[in-house]
Amino acid sequence: MMDVILANPRGFCAGVDRAIAIVEQALAQFGAPIYVRHEVVHNKFVVDRLRGLGAVFVEELDEVPAGATVIFSAHGVSKAVQDEARRRGLRVFDATCPLVTKVHMEVTRYAREGRDVILIGHEGHPEVEGTMGQFDASLGGRICLVEDVGDVEGLDVRDPESVGVVTQTTLSVDDTAEVLAALQRRFPTLRTPRKEDICYATQNRQDAVKKLVENCDVVVVVGSQSSSNSNRLREIAAKAGKPGYLVDGPDDLRAEWFAGKQSVGVTAGASAPELLVQRVVARLKEWGGQGADEVVGRAESVVFALPRELRPGPVSSSTP
């Protein structure tokens, strides 16, 4: 027999709850099709379900017909995308997570203060593209992307005394601390955000997995390959010397991963529905798993309101 242990908290965060609700409400009020620029959140199950309700996912605004309604994904967009939507007169609902918008505002403030900006993040991720594109280069200066400590030495800034840093919201807390320390060694007057950019949900889910790995032999992370925060959870298991697997759902599980294991820990990235966690647990039980107790963890009560036009009331963060 193999114990199944659940991380707590896991799964949906307030920003994902809000983004999904925005698509659902727009469909309910305006009818299909509703265009969504990029996957509204990085989860295949969520995207397929919304597609079934009439959402049309596109990568660029030129795929959106004139007069249509478009939703920006939770990852945020650049100023150029915002401007293009305005120029074309599209009706926009912005599902950018408020905690990503906070980072955008920091970038804007640094640019106005005449600082160059360093963004710690993963190249090619849509949040990084959006945040880089919030920097107003017409004010002079530049925004540079740093992925790891190795990138710090080669940074080219106008004035080393006048540099600000922001980060992607879903990074590894530990890796980011190392990069930040290297930046502070190189730029002793580096301006940092008043409150960390890595969001509460990312932080809490990473802390929960660190606790989880102490008590299990193998970790299953429910989440899609494209999900940054889910990948970071799997990496924490690997760093602790435990095999970690990222799965979209039960059909990705392989029985041989659990052969001879006493306990399996299960968690989910911030964009993965609890329904999929329960299906994964059910499959593990078919294979001899027992229990499914939750590790004691930090309670979350963050709630983000929907845009007023869609519904005045708040939606709740429903991490079960």
Active site residues: 127
Residue 102 Cβ vs ligand SF4, minimum distance, rounded to whole Å? 9
Q: Would you say 69 and 37 are in contact if contact means Cβ atoms under 8 Å apart?
A: no
CB atoms within 10 A of CB 67: 9
- Non-local (6+) Cβ contacts of 108 within 8 A are 134, 135, 136
Could you say whether residue 222 binds ligand SF4 (CB under 6 A)? Answer: no
Each residue 246-275 as x (binds ligand SF4 by CB under 6 A) or -, in order, gives ------------------------x-----
Segment contacting ligand SF4 by CB under 6 A, of 112-120, 148-156, 194-202, 277-285: 194-202
Residue 200 Cβ vs ligand SF4, minimum distance, rounded to whole Å? 7
Could you say whether residue 99 binds ligand SF4 (CB under 6 A)? Answer: yes
Q: What is the number of residues in the chain?
A: 320
Could you say whether residue 171 binds ligand SF4 (CB under 6 A)? Answer: no
Residue 169 Cβ vs ligand SF4, minimum distance, rounded to whole Å? 4
Nearer to ligand SF4 by C-beta: 169 or 231? 169
With CA atoms as reference, report the closest residue to 162 among 109, 114, 112, 107: 114
Could you say whether residue 20 binds ligand SF4 (CB under 6 A)? Answer: no
Could you say whether residue 224 binds ligand SF4 (CB under 6 A)? Answer: no
**Spatial separation of the C-alpha atoms in residues 272 and 76, rounded to whole Å:** 19
CB atoms within 10 A of CB 63: 13
Q: Would you say 81 and 106 are in contact if contact means Cβ atoms under 8 Å apart?
A: no
- Of positions 229, 231, 267, 319, contacts ligand SF4 by CB under 6 A: 229
